Amino acid sequence: MTDIKTALAGLSETAAIQYLTEQFPGAVAFSTSFGQEDQVLADMIWRNKLPVRVFTLDTGRLFQETYELMDLTRARYKQPFETYFPETAAVEKLVAEKGFNSFYDSVENRKECCFIRKVVPLNRALQGVKVWITGLRAEQSENRQALEALEWDEARGLYKFNPLVNWTYEEMLAYLDKHNVPFNKLHNQGFVSIGCAPCTRAIEPGEHPRAGRWWWEQSKKECGLHG
């Protein structure tokens, strides 16, 4: 990993992704939730014709605005992306046993829902992948302050590349504006971090960006995808 980190040092985001696709041909994948960070990366990948497989997770509980952005993005770039869904049997069992909104009852229930709707489909999507590209930024939350651009995901046996790790929120917005990249309309309504509709709210001025996620609980505000 040290050799790869050395090679990536000083490279632009697109050059770094290009390097990784050359080192791991056919085994580099980018997971997008269609948030602003992910739209930046999607634009970089598709505009520069980088050979990266792009996929998303549909939990079945997303905002309509997110689906609209998915279609808008597909129309804008005319590039395919894969969509992974939860296992039907697991969702049916969860709902039958605990109802549709069990995640409001406890952190454990919420993490169970996230595991079924997000983590399991993600693990399926990452099978055979050697480099997983994400839109994580250190600035997003306290839990991500120690993030590095390149990390080793021991559990999944792959490299995790976070090209925007040191980007500020302002830099991200400037990129979106400069390249006229489409983004979720909810961002203009106070939604910073957008996940499932029942689990996301707009934040008030001065609130932490992650305050709108799972706002009813005191936790690390993570779903298990990234720890």
Tokens read off for 103: 């995640």
| Residue partners of 150: CB distance under 8 A and separation at least 6 | 1, 4, 5, 8, 159, 160, 161, 162
175's torsion region: left (phi>0), alpha (psi -120 to 50) or beta? alpha
Strands (E), 46-188: 53-57, 82-84, 131-133, 150-153, 158-161
User: Of the listed 113, 114, 196, 223, which one is catalytic?
Assistant: 223
DSSP summary character for residue 119: I
Residue 223: active-site member = yes
Distance CA 37, CA 205 (A): 21
Q: Which of the residues are catalytic?
A: 223
